[in-house]
Amino acid sequence: MTTATLATTTSAPGARLFEALFEDQSAKARAARGQPIAIRGLKKRFGELEVLRGIDLDVPAGQFLAIVGRSGCGKSTLLRILAGLDKPSEGTLSLSQAGTASATPRIMFQEPRLLPWARVLSNVEVGLGAERKLPEAEERAFQTLRAVGLEAKAQQWPALLSGGQRQRVALARALVSRPRVLALDEPLGALDALTRIEMQGLLERVWLAQGFTAILVTHDVSEALTLADRVVMIDEGRITLDIAVDLPRPRRRGSVDLALLEERILKDLIPEDANPPEYAI
Amino acid sequence: MTDRAEPIPRPQRTSLRVPDLKPLQPKSLQPWLARLTPWLLPLAILVVWQAASRLGFIAANVLPAPSDVLAAGWRLTLNGQLAENIGVSFKRAISGFLLGGSLAFALGLFNGLSKTSERVTDTTIQMVRNIPNLALIPLVILWFGIEEEAKLFLTSLGVFFPIYINTFHGVRTVDSQLVEMGRSYGMSNLELFRRVILPGALPSIFVGVRYALGIMWLTLIVAETIAANSGIGYMAMNAREFMLVDVVVLAIVIYAALGKLADSVVRLLERLCLSWHPAFQKH
């Protein structure tokens, strides 16, 4: 009895989301909404330091791609270039145009980056960019806020929300313009373990419903495997591994298939040290 | 091993009666009492002062009783001198504050936003800042005599630096992550300024304003006692010539009241503009 009630309440915001906003669910429709990305010979240098040393990557429309790697491997730089925050030193990046929907990729950061002096609803409206002046702007912002289950907090100050709620507002802000590409820079990195799992579920449902192309940068391999269609590993500025994750969704945490894949990726990620340091005091 | 394992003795279940816990907070004061509390100490001082004067512990030509000060105030109100002098001082304070403050605000924003502008002007400003503005009084008297310009110059100069420094600092310390967020959502420079940079700098600007108000009164009092023929400072100096101690004390009390008034206005503005700030949220 209790569990049943609990299940209904937790899934309620997600369920409403799809009825209200994003009806297209088929893979075909998803490909139509997302945007393919093509990267050729991409390099990025900061002074002497070459962070990206020639990346070639094709992301089909609507794919959920996860990029994993150790800190400092260049994965965040790649994402920032993708989102238009940095310019590549060499090579090309093309987000091919199709249809009329918003072409600017949206990015979600590890920190929510909400304006502390704006109410939750106007923070979501920031995501509309130039469309903020349209008459239906507020209604759209409110609908998106409802989609992440925070419509009750619309007039609240961000300082009064919990970390997970703030990140949900940031997600609503990224989604309100119905982006065709969403870049996620470790968006769940600062959340506690339980909130993380909830947010992973929300991200997956939103992606399934909206069908954008999603690029998730993370250092958490199991998170990448829970969410992504494909996992790419970057090491010292190059792609060193590219595997498809062909498992049915929603994926069961701790299933054998996931564990095997995780082990394989971790093996590549953590090099076998020939001489591990002796522990001695 | 067929022996039954010895059952582990269960701890005796003692019924613990948890006493009804009262919240640890002290009883909050009645709202009207809480509002009155800050005034209790000044009131007590007044009462002691009045009693000491009446009982002859304090000589009237050293420090007149509060009632005498009040009487002097009433006398000057009746002949119109008080209102006139307060009006003159108030006008000087406001015009000096507006002139110096707006220049400082503009320059602070400019230097905060543009490295080039900072490189050109900041060093000069920092040099001038370290001259105590009251040290300029002899020069100012030579330049302007005891005309209005002298007071305007000194108060604007005094107000300038705290507002400049805090505006500059406020703009510079706006969270760069928020600025990047704003840019990535396609805000124009103007929008970025209005929605991200200015609100972010506002708490610091308010600190500058409150600090500037203190300096404003200080500068004005000194300027009026030395180089003026009207205003509260002049009224006090004039009264000294005639040994009217009650008027001198009255002038000091008025300065205190005006200073408190200015500070209260800024606090009110702060509460209105910074209601998003955790420090200003009601609990």
Model confidence at B8: pLDDT above 90 = no
CB distance B277–A129 less than 8 Å? no
Q: Which residue out of B176, B185, B195, B280 would a mutagenesis test of the A interface target, given it has the greatest number of A Cβ atoms within 10 Å?
A: B185
Nearest residue in chain A measured CA to CA from B282: A160
- Which of B184, B191, B195, B281 is the best substitution to test chain A (most A C-beta atoms within 10 A)? B184
Q: Is the pLDDT of residue A19 over 50?
A: no
B205, part of any domain: yes
Q: Check which CATH number belongs to the domain holding B202 and give it.
A: 1.10.3720.10
Are A110 and A185 in contact, with CB atoms under 8 Å apart?
yes
Which residue type does A107 have? I
**Average pLDDT of the segment spanning B122-126:** 89
Residue B248 lies in a domain: yes
Domain presence at residue B241: yes
Q: What is the mean pLDDT of residues B60-69?
A: 89
> Who contacts A31 (Cβ-Cβ below 8 Å, separation ≥6)?
A60, A61, A62, A211
* Contact call for A107 and B200, based on CB within 8 A: no
Beta bridge partners of A46: A49
**Per-residue model confidence as pLDDT tens digits over A88-115:** 999 988 886 554 444 678 999 999 999 9
* Domains of chain A (ranges, CATH numbers): 24-105+179-269 (3.40.50.300), 115-178 (no CATH)
- Is the confidence at residue A180, as pLDDT, over 60? yes
pLDDT score recorded for residue B35: 85
Here the ipTM equals 0.81
Q: Which of B177, B185, B276 sits opposite A129 (nearest CB)?
A: B185
Average pLDDT of the segment spanning B144-161: 90
Task: Give me the amino acid identity at B3.
Answer: D
Q: Is a pLDDT exceeding 50 seen at residue B280?
A: yes
User: What is the DSSP pairing of strand A106-108 with strand A90-95?
Assistant: unpaired
Q: What percent of chain B has pLDDT over 70?
A: 89
Q: Looking at beta carbons, which residues of chain B come within 8 Å of A84?
A: 184
Record: contact B181-A113, CB cut-off 8 A: yes
B41 located within any domain: no
| Domain-located, residue B20 | no
For chain B, counts of helices (H) and of strands (E): 11, 0
Residue A17 has pLDDT above 60, yes or no: no
- Of all residues in chain A, the one with the smallest CA distance to B175 is A113
> pLDDT tens, B239-276?
999 989 999 999 988 988 888 888 899 999 998 889 88
Instruction: Report the pLDDT value the prediction gives residue A2, as an integer from 0 to 100.
Output: 37
Distance of CA B199 to the CA centre of its chain: 20
What's the mean per-residue pLDDT of chain B?
87
Q: Which of B180, B185, B277 sits opposite A126 (nearest CB)?
A: B185
How close B178 gets to chain A, by Cα (Å)? Answer: 6
- Report the chain B residue with the minimal C-alpha distance to residue A130: B186
Model pLDDT, residue A219: 87
Q: How confident is the model at residue A273 (pLDDT cuts 50, 70, 90)?
A: low
CB contact under 8 A, A83 and B177: no
Nearest-CA distance B215 → chain A (Å): 30
Q: B33 or A46: which carries more pLDDT confidence?
A: A46
**Structural domains in chain B (count):** 1
Domain limits for position B170: 63-280
Say if CB B178 and CB B196 are below 8 A apart.
Answer: yes
Highest mean pLDDT among A53-57, B137-141, B218-222: A53-57
Q: Residue B185 domain-assigned?
A: yes
Mean pLDDT of all residues in A4-21 = 43
At A9 the pLDDT is: 39
| Residue A215: strand, helix, or coil | strand
In a domain, residue B11? The reply is no
Residue B141 placed within a domain: yes
pLDDT at B255: 87
Q: What is the pLDDT of residue B29?
A: 65
